[in-house]
């Protein structure tokens, strides 16, 4: 059997994924406002590799038609992308920028005319800078800002967009941004980060409820980055360390959305350290508003080990010697399967899953010829799609797979270093060239009709 010969259920979404800031460019064109990422890269604060910016990115803003021709050629039937809040509302609230609405109308129509279903993320980290000046996610007003923005999007695009994602990777723009201080606004205040995370979850639930009240006949969910931290040994101290590591990172959000509470150990340690903000238990009623699907971004797993005094919570992330993909990401398709089974169990199989991101970047930079012959990506994809195939055959309700990414693009603080695309982009000429993996994906998609 060739490694793409796997049959998925009828109607399965075979897509690719991108995000506005990483591909669009045109950062200040046609009335677009400034986002916190625009500000961050222009600050030259040393956080972004080689001080690169996505001012031009891959110039998708001017090239989306030909980019979608490539996606059509590959045969994908879905495409996940995000809306730049600042194109639609330059200041985050207030006046609407009609040119921003026009742009996304053209994008949506261009996809539909090619038989590609749009899967739209409302927020993929590029918060309007004016809202950051008002406190960003730390200000509970953000719930109203986000609802107002979402309402404008549903009203303008909801007739054609039937898949919505509220927030992408909540961990990255709350804990990683306000706690660890890596992503903008680069604040290091863990208590504030927990507040932001809580506000973002309430904003999500509020928008899910609101969307359902509109009866537009579509589906809405969230895209969570789930990086399971497995104990390095059976030692109860390592087991507890892994539990704390999960609860103070990605599974903080998962636990709230699925179980309507914050992880017990996380609450305990944060209370002991006086960094647990006051939480209104009534908020969990909003947070747990039922999603129509759960979006899962999966790339790797990690191992946690108890080390007294290490970091804030006495644990260390340690390598197990598995093969590495990007940087220190350990390849773990078995961990992916275990995660999917856990999701099914925790949700009693009642919430369908869409894989909203999964993909590969080599750890090192390579010449273009080597980039195009990306057998290592093909291996990664076939392992992970193989897991999905198996999980579906075992009865899991998985509706789609959005490969990250359609095109090489701007990888946040890593700049243009990592290349996740199945289509190569020459950053000097902006020329697009299909990589071998895009033909592999095409074969898999074509195989569905054989
Ligand atoms: C997570 C993010 O959603 C996306 O923006 C990023 O580029 C990929 N994963 C790869 O790191």
Largest CA distance in the chain: 60
Q: Which of 84, 222, 329, 412 to mutate to test the pocket of ligand 1 (most atoms within 8 A of CB)?
A: 412
Quote the tokens at residue 365. 């930079």
- Can you give the pLDDT at residue 1? 59
Mutate to test the pocket of ligand 1, among 404, 405, 410, 419 (most ligand atoms within 8 A of CB): 404
CA 291 vs. chain centroid, Å, equals: 16
CA of 411 to the centre of ligand 1 (A): 7
Q: With cut-offs at 50, 70 and 90, classify the pLDDT of residue 206.
A: very high
Which strand (E) or helix (H) includes residue 30?
none
Q: Which atom of ligand 1 is nearest to the CA of 169?
A: 3
Please choose from 169, 173, 419 the residue to mutate so as to test ligand 1's pocket, defined by most ligand atoms within 8 A of CB. Answer: 169
Copy the structure tokens of residue 161.
């967009």
Structure tokens at 360: 């590969």
- Nearest CA among 114, 105, 109 for reference residue 74: 114
Give dist(CA 316, CA 206) in Å, integer: 35
CA pair distance 220, 378, nearest whole angstrom: 30
Rounded to whole angstroms, what are the CA distances from 139 to 30, 144, 177? Answer: 29, 10, 15
- The answer, yes or no, to whether any atom of ligand 1 lies below 6 A from the CB of 407, is no
Count Cα atoms within 13 angstroms, Cβ side, for 400. 25
3-state secondary structure of 93: coil
The pLDDT of residue 2:
79
| Catalytic machinery residues | 169, 357
Question: How many alpha carbons lie under 13 Å from residue 318 in its C-beta half-sphere?
Answer: 15
Cis peptide before 21 (omega within 30 of 0): no
Is residue 298 within 6 Å of ligand 1 at its C-beta? no
CA distance 122 to 408: 21
Q: Mean pLDDT, to the nearest integer, of 66-70?
A: 99
Q: Is 19 in the pocket of ligand 1 (CB under 6 A)?
A: yes
Distance set, CA 311 to CA 225, 277, 347 (Å) = 22, 20, 32
Kindly give the distance from the C-alpha atom of residue 235 to the centroid of ligand 1, in angstroms, as a whole number.
Answer: 33
* Residue closest to 437 by CA, chosen among 400, 402, 406: 406
Spatial distance between the Cα atoms of 31 and 90, rounded to a whole number of angstroms? 7
Residue 34's pLDDT is 98
The H or E element containing residue 169 is none
Instruction: Tell me the pLDDT tens digit for each residue of 276-333.
Output: 999 999 999 999 999 999 999 999 999 999 999 999 999 999 999 999 999 899 999 9
For 77-117, what is each residue's pLDDT tens digit? 999 999 999 999 999 999 999 999 999 999 999 999 999 99
Question: Is residue 332 lining ligand 1, measured as CB closer than 6 Å?
Answer: no
Q: How far apart are the CA of 57 and the centre of ligand 1, in A?
A: 15
pLDDT digits (tens, 9 = 90+) for 182-204: 999 999 999 999 999 999 999 99
The residues near 207 (Cβ < 8 Å, ≥ 6 apart) are 122, 146, 147, 150, 166, 220
| Residue whose CA is at the smallest distance from ligand 1 atom 5 | 19
Kindly provide the b/e burial profile for residues 261-289, where b requires at least 16 CB atoms within 10 angstroms of the residue's own CB.
Answer: ebbebbbebbeeeebbeeeeeebbebbbb
pLDDT tens per residue across span 243-276: 999 999 999 999 999 999 999 999 999 999 999 9
Q: Is 397 exposed, middle or buried (0-12, 13-18, 19+ CB in 10 A)?
A: middle
Taking the CB of residue 28, how many other CB atoms lie within 10 A of it? 12
pTM score over 0.85 = yes
Could you read off the pLDDT of 372-404 as tens digits, one per residue? 999 999 999 999 999 999 999 999 999 999 999
Chain mean pLDDT for the chain: 98
Ligand 1 touching residue 169 (CB < 6 A): yes
Cα 330 to Cα 319: distance, rounded to the nearest angstrom: 8
Q: Is the CB of 404 under 6 A from ligand 1?
A: yes
| Helix, strand or coil, per DSSP, at residue 432 | strand
Whether residue 28 is predicted with pLDDT greater than 90 in this model: the reply is yes
Structure-token pair, residue 405: 């990414």
Output DSSP code: residue 330. B
Is the CB–ligand 1 distance for residue 357 below 6 Å? yes
Does the structure show a pLDDT above 70 at 211?
A: yes
Statement: residue 424 has pLDDT above 90: yes
In this structure, which residue's CA is closest to atom 6 in ligand 1? 411
pLDDT at 436: 98
How much is the pLDDT for 44?
82
């Amino acid at each position: 059997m060739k490694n793409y010969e796997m049959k998925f259920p009828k109607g399965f979404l075979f897509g690719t994924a991108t995000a506005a800031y990483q591909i669009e460019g045109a950062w200040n064109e046609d009335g677009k406002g400034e986002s916190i990422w625009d500000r961050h890269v222009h600050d030259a604060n040393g956080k972004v590799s080689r001080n690169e910016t996505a001012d031009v990115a891959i110039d998708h803003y001017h090239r989306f038609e030909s980019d979608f021709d490539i996606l059509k050629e590959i045969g994908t039937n879905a495409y996940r992308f995000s809306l730049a809040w600042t194109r639609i509302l330059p200041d985050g609230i207030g006046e609407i920028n009609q040119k921003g609405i026009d742009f996304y109308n053209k994008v949506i129509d261009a996809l539909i005319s090619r038989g590609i279903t749009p899967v739209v993320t409302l927020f993929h980290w590029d918060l309007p800078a004016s809202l950051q000046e008002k406190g960003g996610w730390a200000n509970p007003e953000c719930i109203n800002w986000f609802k107002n923005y979402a309402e404008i999007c549903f009203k303008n695009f909801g007739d054609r967009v039937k898949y919505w994602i509220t927030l992408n990777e909540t961990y990255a723009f709350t804990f990683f941004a306000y706690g660890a201080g890596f992503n903008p606004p680069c604040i290091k205040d863990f208590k504030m980060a927990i507040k932001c995370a809580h506000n973002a979850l309430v904003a999500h639930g509020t928008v899910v409820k609101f969307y359902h009240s509109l009866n537009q006949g579509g589906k809405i969910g969230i895209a969570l980055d789930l990086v399971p931290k497995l104990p390095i040994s059976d030692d109860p101290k390592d087991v507890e360390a892994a539990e704390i590591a999960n609860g103070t990172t990605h599974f903080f959000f998962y636990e709230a959305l699925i179980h309507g509470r914050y992880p017990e150990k996380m609450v305990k340690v944060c209370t002991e350290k006086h960094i647990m903000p006051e939480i209104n238990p009534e908020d969990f009623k909003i947070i747990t508003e039922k999603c129509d699907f759960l979006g899962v971004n999966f790339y790797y797993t990690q191992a946690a080990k108890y080390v007294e005094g290490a970091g804030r919570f006495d644990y260390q992330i340690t390598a197990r010697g598995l093969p590495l993909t990007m940087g220190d990401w350990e390849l773990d398709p078995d961990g992916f399967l275990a995660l999917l089974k856990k999701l099914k169990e925790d949700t009693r199989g009642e919430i369908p899953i869409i894989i909203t991101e999964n993909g590969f970047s080599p750890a090192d930079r390579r010449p273009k010829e080597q980039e195009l012959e990306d057998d290592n990506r093909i291996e990664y994809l076939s392992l992970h799609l193989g897991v999905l195939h198996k999980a579906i055959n075992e009865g899991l309700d998985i509706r789609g797979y959005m490969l990250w990414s359609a095109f090489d693009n701007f990888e946040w603080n890593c700049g243009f270093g990592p290349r996740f695309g199945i289509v190569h982009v020459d950053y000097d000429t902006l020329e697009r060239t299909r990589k071998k993996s895009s033909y592999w994906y095409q074969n898999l998609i074509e195989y569905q009709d054989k």
